[in-house]
């Protein structure tokens, strides 16, 4: 993310250096570059903030998925033992009827 940004800044700086002399004073060119750099820095901070939030959300999602998986495993175990109970109840019923 950083490198393309730096590339475009360099391209911009070279472009402004070789372009025709602006009609306004030199200082305004520096003002513009300064503003641009400030904006770039602000964007970098915003990007870092967004990335931090994404990372935090990602770890929460991973955590939640792990918990869901554990609950599913518990549920599967419950279903399995319930099935066994039902099968035993059926067997018991059949034994009673055939007696």
Ligand X SMILES: *[C@@H]1O[C@H](CO)[C@@H](O)[C@H](O)[C@H]1NC(C)=O
- The DSSP string of the chain is -HHHHHHHHHHHHHHHHHSPPPSS-HHHHHHHHHHHHHHHHHHHHHHHHHHHHHHHHHHHHHHHHHHHHHHHHHHHHHHHHHHHHHHHHHHHHHHHHH-
Using CB under 6 A as the binding rule, whether residue 81 contacts ligand X is answered as no
C-beta closer to ligand X: residue 39 or 71? 71
Give the integer Cα–Cα distance in Å for 62 and 13. Answer: 44
C-beta closer to ligand X: residue 59 or 78? 78
Taking CB under 6 A as the criterion, the residue among 76, 78, 81, 85 binding ligand X is 76
Taking CB under 6 A as the criterion, the residue among 50, 61, 73, 82 binding ligand X is 73
C-beta closer to ligand X: residue 52 or 63? 63
Which residues in 42-71 contact ligand X (CB under 6 A)? 69
Write down the residue that tokens 């599967």 correspond to.
76
**Smallest distance, Å, CB 71 to ligand X?**
9
Which stretches of the chain bind ligand X, using CB under 6 A?
A: 69, 72-73, 76
């Amino acid at each position: 993310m950083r490198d393309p940004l730096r590339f475009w800044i360099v391209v911009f700086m070279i472009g402004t250096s070789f372009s025709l002399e602006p009609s306004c004073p030199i200082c305004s060119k520096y003002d513009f570059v300064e503003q641009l750099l400030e904006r770039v820095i602000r964007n970098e901070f915003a990007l870092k903030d967004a990335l931090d939030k994404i990372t935090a959300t990602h770890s929460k999602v991973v955590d939640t998925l792990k918990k869901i998986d554990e609950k599913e495993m518990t549920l599967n175990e419950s279903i399995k033992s319930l099935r066994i109970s039902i099968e035993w109840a059926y067997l018991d019923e059949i034994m009673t009827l055939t007696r």
